[in-house]
Structure 1
Amino acid sequence: MIRLRPKEWSIRLHLFAFAATILVPLILLGSYFATEFAERERERYQEVAKALAADIAADVDRELDSTIAALQALSTSPALRNGDLEAFDRQARETLHYRGSAIAVRDQTGQQIINTYAPWGTPLPVSTHPVLRKTDQTALETQRPVVSDLYQGAVAKALYVLVDVPVTIRGEARYVLNIALTPERIRRILASSNLPPDWIVAVVDGSNRIIARSRDHERLLGVDTQRSSPAPAEAGAALWQGLNAEGVPVLAASERSRLSAWRVTASVPLAVLGAPLTRSLLAVAGLGGLGLALSLALALLYGRGLARGMLDLSLSAEALGRGEQIPATATSVREVNQISRAMARASADLHERALAQETAARRQELLIHELNHRVKNTLATVQSLAWQVVRPGVPPRIAQERFQERLLALSRTHNLLNETLWEGASLRTILEAEFQPFMAETPRIRLSGPDVYLPATHTVVLGMALHELTTNAAKYGALSAATGRVQVDWRVEGHGRGATLILDWCEMGGPPVQAQPRPGFGSRLLRQTITQELGGELSMRFEPEGACCQIVVGIAPAEQRAA
């Protein structure tokens, strides 16, 4: 199975991606809440639109109610019922001081009998406008008040809406009494409604023509709204979206008049409706974009320090691979510092291990040379022993015994050296090893002197020499008698390279000693080892009390250690 190599990103991009994974869900969550808030605002606007349309429709109906009540009261005038039209004209004009509109009376044919817009006695025309004829006919047939759509007056040549009240005389609907209301009067109702900003309220008639509008009233008066938004107008929907008379998309609520075919429409532009969502989304987008930009900047800035630490680790790893010793680096990231310290410790361990291996190699090489040297010396010593014991006139059995004894002494000395890895041995330890058979008899052996540490060469040679002295004392000297004693004293004189070991061996209480005995094998071996192999001095004295021997050899400074 082939495994694709993962794509490598810089630590800065990783930091930016980490920040983005935190910010993007927050941005999405903010967008969700902004959308929810906008939806709640939309619902609130819808309720405001419906309430506003209903309130203003009620205000318009109150105005129409008041006008109808005034007309109904005026229609009961005795002057009108008795045919005194001039008197009724005066009464109608007095009523106009309170209503502020034109009052007219028409018969069933549409002939105007009274019109307060013209002076009394002025010939009046027949009203033939379809809106007027339809309104009059409906009022006469139903004998109920009727409110007309927008129309143009025949006398004033201005736009009006008409409120008709039938006048019934002796059970017959003989006349139509009406007040012509100007659109301005309806507009003042809208103006007094304290509309919220950006809201528009319009009153349209049954033919969808604008009677009054809270904005651009003069310009849009009489405009057919069905041309801009026909579907809501035809359906009479309570809540709808479409275009207003200015062609602006709006959310609108409509409320029908209780007394007429009019509709009151309250609308707000969709741009205003969507403003909270737009502002919220822009705020979320702005803050999110700012957060992402800031995260990118911080990732670049902060990632630079992290990348520097990582690069230092990479360089340190390469140096470690080359076997170089590397120091620990200090950064602001704990984990990087831990790795750096671990690499530094590993570097130090590897360096120490390399030094140890190098030292071990040198020691091994030195050991091989030393072993070669010591083997040669040992073989030379064995050869010398062989030449000493194998002499003319010495029986082979005696020569064999002597050779075996010297080899055993040499072996004991080598055992002492093996215990210290051939670095040397203590002089006191060598003496105690030689006197071991007699150490139980403490008064017979006296050792006195500082602790002197001898190197390997001195250990072997002095071990052989002290073995010869001990053997001679056990066979012929003080240790051969029950009352004999051996006193060994040593000291070190001088310092540094001039340090000298002086060892005095004295036997007492043994058999009588000849003044000058004939030198034997032991004497020759003793003198040869001290003078030739160590370059020292050997002096022998034969007192009646016992033999005495003094050995003087040079020792190096490192070979003396205080006890």
Structure 2
Amino acid sequence: MNDPGPNASAATINPSLPVSPRTSLRQLLWALVFALTLPAILIAAAGLYSGYRAEQETMDLRLQETVRAMSLSLDREIEKSEVVMRMLALSPYIADGNFSAFHRQAQEAGIPKPSWVSLVTPEGEVLLSTRVPYGSELPDSVRQTSLLKVLETRTTHLSDLFNGSITGQPLITLDVPVILDEKVAYILSASISPNIFQKLIADQRIASNWNAAVLDRSGRVVARSRMPERFVGQLGNPIIRDAINSNPEGHVQSVTLEGVPVRAYFSKSAVYGWSFVISVPSTELSASFKRSLFWLVILAGCILMGVALAAVLSRLIAKPVDQLVAQAHALGAGQEVLGASTHVLEFDTIQKALTDAAANVREQERNREEVLTRVAESEARLRLALNAGHLGSWEYTPSTGIFVTSPQCRANFGRGPDQPFSYDDLIAAIHPDDRARQAEAVVRTLKNRVDLQVEYRAIWPDQSEHWIRISGQVRVAPDGHLSLVGVSQDITEQKLADERQGIMLHELNHRVKNTLATVQSVASMTRRSADQGDPAAWDAFLGRVQGLAKTHDLLTATQWQGALLKDVLKNELEPYQDALNQRIRLRGPEINLQPSAVLALGLAVHELATNASKYGSLTSPEGKVHVMWALASALNPPVLIVEWVESGGPPVTPPQRQGFGTKLIQRGLAQQLGGEIKLNFHPDGVRCVITFPIKNVMVEIDETDESVERYAS
């Protein structure tokens, strides 16, 4: 009899299946390929475009932050010269008329080279200039407009870029009034070369095809990374100047002075009105889009290759289906199991053959799956418990030397998850001083059949030392062999925590003794004031103890590693600040003080603030307190100078005797830190200048030069 073929057999075995148009396997494969490729192309295109936009936004944000930081650096560069000039304006040599000595002091003041300092009368007569030896004949100043502005405002004035009348070179001047007897007696001028700002740009290592520039208030180029010799002194692009006048910072499409299309990022200084600009060529910004388009083309090509491969595979899949049908009929011979049609010819045939076989093995598979499920759940719970406790499992058979470890166990000894780790490797990893204790514990466990509990140090391959806790039990195998099974745990952090706790207790004892000594000193001095009939002595004592407690809180936040000078000042002066942050103004570099300096300076500032709130500028709503500090690295030894200036309060009269607060400042600062305190009871407001040797107050003396560059806002 002729074989009717597999399709005829299917129809004969199950005549109840409906006869309807069916989809072939090849058609389904093609439909699947297109259903996957089209969304993949769309999603990839959207993803690449989104990545391009994200990259563009990230670059905008990064460059905007860069120009903002450079604008702050520009402020700090000018502010350094302003601080030095203001300190020079207070020189006693000017008041005494000793201009020769002041000429030497100005030369050593630390004004960045090639700048120089001049002393000018309000009428424009130049008395001296550090650019030439003292006594040289000097022409009168031709900057009458700038001098008149300083006379009228009695404040510091920074000029725009101009060509010097004597040198013929571009210059910027910083004019500071010298006030004697309540009037502007002289004007101290610093002539600053644009080379200082040129160096500031050069230090940033701007990309060769980018351009960075510094613009003054009029939009004139002060310094430039590309061809400064050609463009310094010229007005910047009008588009950029208009954008700066409209907004203090942002970015705009523009063209450089060379005619290159760029995207310009700018930030304007809120203090001096100068701006920093970075221009990036537009061609560089469009490169990211071209990269995205390139990868999109590559992806499309890969998908087309997949389509072609799918066409080949569809032909290869359809051919063995007939052979699979014949094997399925042999497997299910003698049984009839009905199934719903899939409307796919090949799948209906395979389904008939497999349902015949499924009836025979269904029960066995169900039982097997239940057993495997329970085993898998048990193993999963065990792994979860071990991982939760960071425990590594291990098993050691002494008779065979076989040592089996889990990845976490190997990690406890500094090994990778796939790195071999034998028992000999374990012994070699144990600290030589602990190997005997580990060996004795293993022998005792095997001999007495007791639990294994031992802790020892392990040396990792990187030579770091770690503490390991080993726990285990004896297991007897069916063949009678003994083995040890247990877990390992890295307890290094626990050991270090115990050690740190001991150190902290010792340090706490030391800090408490020092604090009690300070309180005892304050109490002793307060008692003497009370004995002399001061009714406010007790309240003053409580205020000082509370100020000391606030300073302790500040040190506790840094684990007694010191505190920033600005934070110490804020800690005491913040209660007196107004809503606009104008009443209390702090300015100076970022300086980290030693704990002893924090306590002493905190008490001193507390006394100054208390005096100002009772008798000084803080008694009036218009009163203000300005605190400025600077590092005088050029002096020997280097010193930290802190200046307290009150203004806007009632007229000040010098006290008849030295008060308790002054004694406390002298004892805390002069005796403990070797500082020098100068109090000036000027009618306009109290002025206090405190000078410390840097080595007595700062935490990181080696980084003084770097700290000068980091100014607080």
Normalised by the length of structure 1, the TM-score is 0.45
Larger relative contact order, structure 1 or 2 (CA cutoff 8 Å, min sep 6)? 1
Task: From the CA coordinates, give the structure whose radius of gyration is larger.
Answer: 1
